[in-house]
Structure 1
Amino acid sequence: MVRSLKSLRISRPDRSSSIDYNEYILTPLEYLRLFITALLADMLVAYTFYQSRRVLLVTLPLCLLYPFSCRKALCEKRRQQLLTEFKESLAILSSFLSAGYSTENAFRASIGELEHLFSPDAMIVREFEQIVHGMSLHTPVEELLADFAYRSGLEDVANFAEVFTVAKKNGGQLVKIIAHTASVIRDKVQISEEILTMNAAKRYEQRVMNLVPFLIILYMNFSSPEFFRTLYTTVLGRITMTLCLLLYVLSVWLAGRIMDIEV
C-alpha cells in the first residue's frame, strides 16, 4: 500500500527538508559508539574463545563495518518512534477537527500540542509543520499526507492517508471517518506497545543469558586454567571452540527472532 502512494509524491522547492525514514545516516558520534561496542565485543570473543591477539586483529575490520550493519535496526527504531508520535497526533488532530476546525487550522493547532507532548524537534512536529507549510502554498493536503506516508514506510500512516483522501474526495463525514480510523490505528499501536511491555522481562532475561557462556568460560579460565588449556593450544580445541561460538551466535539469532513479535 505504501508503494501505491509513490505516484502521489510531490515535488516542492523545500524537498530537501523532507526526511526519508527508510534510510538512516549514521552521525560520527553514533558510528564511534557502535565501533567501540563492536571492538569491546570482539576483544571479549577473541579472549574467551581463542585467547589470541591474532584473532582480534583479523576480525578488527568487522568492527569497522559493524556500525553500518546496525543502520537497519536504527531505522526501524526510528520508525517505531515515529509511529508512536503519529498515534498521539491522530488523537489531537481528531479532537480539533471535531471542534469545528478546518483541516489546515487543525494541523496548525496540533503543532503546539505536539510540541508540549514531545518536543519542538520531534519528528511528527516537523512533519506537521511541513504539511502546514505545504497547505499555505496551496498544495492539496492529500498529496502532503501521501508524501509523508511514502517517506515514513509505515502501513498505518499509508492507511490514514488513503482514508483521508477517499473521505475528502467523496465528501463523506470526514471528521467521523478520521476519528474512527485514528481509533483503529491507536488500538493497533497500543497492542504493539503492550506486547513489548509484556516481553520486556523476557528480553532482559535473554540479554543476561547471552552473557552466561562468557561468564562460565572466564570463570573456568581464572579458577582452573589447566582445565581449558587444550582448547586454546591444539587444533582440535580451536575447532571445538569455533563450533561452540557458531552455536552461540545461532542461539542468539534464534532468540531474537522468537522475541520479534509483529502485530
Structure 2
Amino acid sequence: MKKIQEKIRGFVPCKRAAPDKQAGGRAVDYRNYRLTERELMVYTIQGIGTAAFVGYIFYHSLIAMVFLLPYVPFFLKRKKAELRDVRLRELNYEFREGIMALSAALGAGYSVENAFREALADLRLIYGDDRTITREFRYMAGQIEMNVTVEKLLLDLAERSGLEDIKSFAEVFATAKRSGGDLIMIIRSTASRISQKAEVQREIVTTMMEKQFEQKIMSYIPFFIIFYMKMSNPEFMEILYGNVTGAVVMTICLVIYICSVFIAGKITGIEV
C-alpha cells in the first residue's frame, strides 16, 4: 500500500521538503505542493467517490466506474494546485508582517542579521510556530548563523515562491545594502506598498471566491437533475441505460458538461 501511495504522490514531484519537516532546516519550494499522508488518503477517496458517482449517474454501470478511475490522478493534481495557491497567498499576506517586524528591529538598532532573529520572535507571538512565514524566518535565521548572506536568502525565497512582491523586495534590499541606502526607510515604504496591494488583492480574491462558489454550485446541478429524474421517474430514464445508444448520448452529455466546467473554471480562475 505504501508503494502505491508513493507512486500516486510522485506524479507531480516536489523538489524540496518543507522546513518544518526537516531537522536541518531545508528550504521548501512553494511552487510545488507535497500532499501529506492524510491529505493523500482523503483526496484519493474523494476522487474515487467522484468517479463512482459519475459512473452511476451517467451509465448506471460498475464497469463505467472502473473506467473512470483514471480521473483520480487528475483530481489529486487539481487539489495540489489549489493547496499550492492557498499557501502562496498565505505567504504573500504574511510576508508584509515579516518585513514590518524586520523594520521595527532595524529601527531599534539591531544589525540586519540580528534583526531577523528579533523579527522571528515577533512573528512567533503574532502567528505561532506553525505558520508559513514563521517557518521561513526560522529557516533564514538558521542560515544566517551559517554565514549565508541575507541578500542571498531573500533572493532564494523569491525564487522558491515565485511571488513578485518578495522578488521586488529582495532586489531592492540587495541594492540598498550594497549602496549603503537607508534600509529602514526602504523596508517601511516597501511594506506600505505591499500592504496596499495586498488589501486590493484580498478584496478581489473575496469577490472571486463568491463567484467560484456559485460556479461550483451550478456545476453540481446537472447531477442532481439526473439523480432526481432517476428517483422520481425511473422508467423515463431507463432508455438511456443498458444500451449502446444511451451510452453514446450520456457520453456526449458528459463531454459537454466537462467542457462547460473547464470553461467556467477558466473564467472564474483569474489570477490576481
The reply to whether TM is greater than 0.5 is yes
Counterpart of 1:222, as a letter, is M
1:70 and 1:198, CA in 2 relative to 1: closer, same or farther beyond 3 A?
closer
1:251 partnered with 2:254: no
TM-score, normalization: structure 2?
0.84
Question: Which residue does the alignment assign to 1:77?
Answer: 86
Superposed CA offset, 1:65-93 (max 9, x none): 64245333322222222212212212222
Give the one of 228, 236, 243 matched to 1:234.
Answer: 243
**Aligned residue in 1 for 2:217:** 208
User: Does the CA contact (< 8 Å) of 1:156 and 1:185 recur in 2?
Assistant: yes
Partner of 1:178: 187
Amino acid at match of 1:252: V
| Moved segments of 4+, more than 4 Å | none
1:37 is aligned to 46
Q: Secondary structure at the match of 1:88?
A: helix
Deviates more, 1:132-141 or 1:171-180: 132-141
Query: Does the 8 Å contact 1:115/1:125 carry over to 2?
Result: yes
Following superposition of structure 1 onto structure 2, how do residues 9-48 of structure 1 map, counting pairs within 5 Å? Answer: 17-48=26-57
1:112 is aligned, of 121, 128, 147, to 121
8 Å Cα contact 1:192/1:262 also seen in 2: no
Q: Does 1:260 align with 2:272?
A: no
Pairwise CA distance, 1:245: 0.9
Q: CA offsets, 1:170-229, max 9 Å, x none?
A: 111221112111221222222111111123332222221111111111111111111111
1:129 corresponds to 2:138? yes
Tell me which of the two structures has the higher relative contact order, counting C-alpha pairs closer than 8 angstroms and 6 or more residues apart: 1
Correspondence 1:223 to 2:236: no
TM-score (norm 1): 0.87
> For 1:115 and 1:164, how far apart are their aligned partners in 2?
23
What are the Cα deviations for residues 138-177 of structure 1, in whole angstroms up to 9, with x where unaligned? 3221112112222222221111110100011111122111
Tell me, in whole angstroms, the C-alpha distance in 2 between the residues paired with 1:43 and 1:236.
Answer: 21
Deviates more, 1:252-261 or 1:28-37: 252-261
Count of residue correspondences: 250
CA distance in 2, matches of 1:64, 1:250: 18
Q: Is the 8 A contact 1:142 1:165 kept in 2?
A: yes
Alpha-carbon distance between aligned partners in 2 of 1:109 and 1:50, rounded to the nearest angstrom: 62
3-state SS of 1:121 partner: coil
In structure 2, what is the Cα distance between the partners aligned to 1:262 and 1:64?
24
After superposition, the Cα gap between the structure-2 partners of 1:137 and 1:63, relative to the gap in structure 1 and judged at 3 Å, is closer
Q: Deviations over 1:97-152 (max 9, x none)?
A: 33433222321111122112222122211221222222233322111211222222
> Quick one: which amino acid aligns to residue 233 of structure 2?
S
Distance (whole Å) between structure 2 residues aligned to residue 241 and residue 87 of structure 1: 51
Aligned-pair RMSD on alpha carbons?
A: 2.0
Q: What runs of 5+ residues in structure 1 fail to find an aligned partner?
A: 1-13
1:144 aligns with 2:172: no
Unaligned runs of 5+ residues in structure 2 are 1-22
Task: Give the Cα–Cα distance (whole angstroms) in 2 for the partners of residues 122 and 113 of structure 1.
Answer: 13
Distance (Å, rounded) in 2 between the aligned partners of 1:243 and 1:95:
61
Tell me whether 36-45 or 88-97 shows the greater mean CA deviation. 88-97
Is the aligned partner of 1:156 residue 2:165? yes
Q: CA deviation at 1:15?
A: 7.1
Q: Identity across aligned pairs (percent)?
A: 40
Report the counterpart of residue 101 of structure 2 in structure 1: 92
